[in-house]
């Protein structure tokens, strides 16, 4: 038994609302909340130069990877970077976070992060 869906282009209450909104074309909606989602500028800054974040804005997911808003990030510390919340994760008030390995020629990944993530078993 097939269910037939309503054709909302012919549904008068929605057409009246579209007219009230002065919407001349059909489109789609995407929910975006800058409190929870990265803006274009934030995404660009994270990729190019990194961003300094207060401790309260840096979180970790259930798999212990580090996250800022809706994006996984890495934390730069001295000559290494953290990819997870590990036993050696620095306790600071601010963190330099990035989505790219800024100045990566001298950086190495934290071995405790790799252990936390069970890297290669």
Dump pLDDT digits (tens) for 35-54.
Answer: 999 999 999 999 999 999 99
Asked if pLDDT for residue 86 goes beyond 90, the answer is yes
CA distances from 105 to 24, 57, 65, 74, 102 (A): 53, 28, 22, 15, 9
Mean pLDDT of 91-106: 83
What distance in Å separates the CA atoms of residue 80 and residue 94, rounded to the nearest whole number? 16
**CB distance 73 to 38 below 8 Å:** no
pLDDT level of residue 65 (50, 70, 90 thresholds): very high
More confident residue, 18 or 113: 113
For every residue of 33-63, DSSP letters joined together read -TTTS--HHHHHHHHHT-EEEEGGG-EE-TT
CA-nearest of 118, 40, 57, 120 to 86 is 118
What distance in Å separates the CA atoms of residue 78 and residue 82, rounded to the nearest whole number? 11
Per-chain mean pLDDT for the chain? 89
Q: What is the pLDDT of residues 3-46, one digit of tens each?
A: 888 888 888 998 898 889 888 888 777 788 899 999 999 999 99
> What angle (nearest 5°) sits at the alpha carbon of residue 44, between those of residues 27 and 57?
95
Say what the pLDDT of residue 18 is. 87
Point out the least confidently predicted range of 37-41, 57-61, 103-107.
103-107
DSSP type of residue 10: G
């Amino acid at each position: 038994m097939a269910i037939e869906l309503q054709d909302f282009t012919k549904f008068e209450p929605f057409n009246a609302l579209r007219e009230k909104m002065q919407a001349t074309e059909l489109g789609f909606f995407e929910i975006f909340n800058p409190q929870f989602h990265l803006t274009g500028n934030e995404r660009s800054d994270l990729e190019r130069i990194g961003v300094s974040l207060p401790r309260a804005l840096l979180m970790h997911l259930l798999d212990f990877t580090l996250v800022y808003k809706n994006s996984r990030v890495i934390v730069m510390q001295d000559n290494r970077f953290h990819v997870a919340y590990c036993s050696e994760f620095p306790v600071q008030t601010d963190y330099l976070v990035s989505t790219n390995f800024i100045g990566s020629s001298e950086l190495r990944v934290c071995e405790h992060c790799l252990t936390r993530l069970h890297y290669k078993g």
